[in-house]
């Protein structure tokens, strides 16, 4: 069995990938809406442990097409460390077609462009980057630890290296007070980065987080399905991301949307208007999940 410490998270598109932990936890671990790595203290795993996981996976599986490097920001390890892991994957699992990883803006910005270029040359194909919001005020309130400009710079470095960029934003993260700003500024940041893939999730509380406590104690307003639809409509009205694949069809979303921008923007806006007019049902709370 490949070794996993604690709960392991992966993007939905990595459901059939071999997952190997290069790091444990998240180096930031302070976002007020996130409970993913709270029980873990961040560390980079020794290279021999990571290699042993790949050896074990090789013994277990004849064919491994995709590999996802976890945890929260696996890219936080030194570039030489990641390069050695990528070389080892090529040696031990030569048939692998795609290696991907989460990457926080900080883990990208602390590298030189040529480091990222080299990691792409060695097989790192795609980075999943959490944008969450394009509003500096929302980012500050949720303690993201990054500004919108830093997030854009990190995203552009990933694209410059030739890697695919997949980002997520979270509808409702600004509450009612910052909903409009959150929508407009997130559209602006996405338009500046033009990621290959955009995933829009909707804020949902499952396990206790500081933001959930704010909500329970009346300091934060969790948007209703109607308010989320209106916010998403504003975001789509302001976005200009020619060629980006846009998806809001995650289990957390109230209304499923999927299309390629800018081509399908009007169709997705029309679907949201139908939801606001009561012609499309919102996903029931009982069926929502992260």
- CB 240 within 8 Å of CB 184: no
Residues near ligand SF4 (CB under 6 A): 26, 28-31, 34, 36-37, 72, 104, 130
Min CB(48)–ligand SF4 separation in Å:
26
Min CB(105)–ligand SF4 separation in Å:
9
C-beta closer to ligand SF4: residue 36 or 86: 36
- Give the chain's largest Cα–Cα span: 58
Min CB(127)–ligand SF4 separation in Å:
13
CA distance 22 to 70: 6
- CB 250 within 8 Å of CB 199: yes
CB atoms within 10 A of CB 278: 9
Measured N-to-C along each axis, helices 265-276 and 225-238 cross at an angle, to the nearest 10 degrees, of 160
For 72, what's the count of Cα atoms within 13 Å in the CB-facing half-sphere?
25
C-beta closer to ligand SF4: residue 75 or 230: 75
SS3 content of the chain, % helix, strand, coil (to 5): 40, 15, 40
Min CB(273)–ligand SF4 separation in Å:
31
C-beta closer to ligand SF4: residue 36 or 96: 36
C-beta closer to ligand SF4: residue 123 or 175: 175
- CB 17 within 8 Å of CB 4: no
C-beta closer to ligand SF4: residue 34 or 138: 34
C-beta closer to ligand SF4: residue 34 or 89: 34
User: Strands, DSSP E only, in the chain?
Assistant: 18-21, 23-24, 43-44, 66-70, 98-102, 124-132, 164-171, 197-202, 245-248, 257-260
Three-state DSSP class for 144?
A: coil
Min CB(13)–ligand SF4 separation in Å:
17
Min CB(287)–ligand SF4 separation in Å:
24
């Amino acid at each position: 069995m490949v070794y996993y410490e604690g709960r392991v998270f992966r993007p939905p598109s990595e459901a059939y990938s071999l997952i190997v932990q290069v790091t444990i936890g998240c180096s930031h671990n302070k976002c007020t809406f996130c409970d993913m790595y709270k029980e873990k203290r961040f560390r980079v795993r020794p290279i021999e442990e990571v290699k042993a996981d790949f050896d074990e996976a090789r013994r277990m599986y004849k064919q491994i097409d995709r590999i996802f490097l976890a945890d929260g920001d696996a890219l936080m390890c030194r570039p030489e460390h990641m390069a050695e892991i990528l070389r080892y994957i090529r040696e031990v699992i030569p048939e692998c077609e795609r290696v991907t990883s989460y990457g926080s803006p900080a883990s990208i910005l602390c590298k030189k462009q040529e480091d990222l270029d080299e990691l792409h040359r060695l097989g790192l194909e795609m980075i999943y980057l959490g944008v969450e919001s394009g509003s500096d005020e929302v980012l500050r309130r949720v303690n993201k630890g990054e500004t919108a400009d830093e997030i854009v710079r990190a995203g552009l470095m990933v694209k410059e290296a030739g890697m695919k960029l997949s980002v997520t934003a979270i509808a409702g993260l600004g509450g009612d007070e910052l909903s409009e700003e959150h929508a407009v500024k997130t559209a602006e940041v996405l338009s500046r980065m033009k990621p290959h893939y955009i995933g829009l999730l909707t804020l949902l509380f499952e396990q206790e987080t500081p933001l959930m406590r704010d909500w329970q104690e009346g300091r934060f307003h969790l948007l209703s399905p109607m308010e989320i639809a209106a916010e998403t409509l504003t975001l789509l009205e302001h976005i200009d991301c020619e060629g980006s694949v846009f998806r809001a069809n995650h289990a957390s979303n109230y209304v499923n949307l999927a299309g390629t921008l800018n081509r399908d923007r009007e169709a997705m806006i029309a679907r949201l208007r139908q939801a606001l007019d009561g012609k499309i049902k919102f996903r029931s709370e009982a069926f929502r999940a992260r």
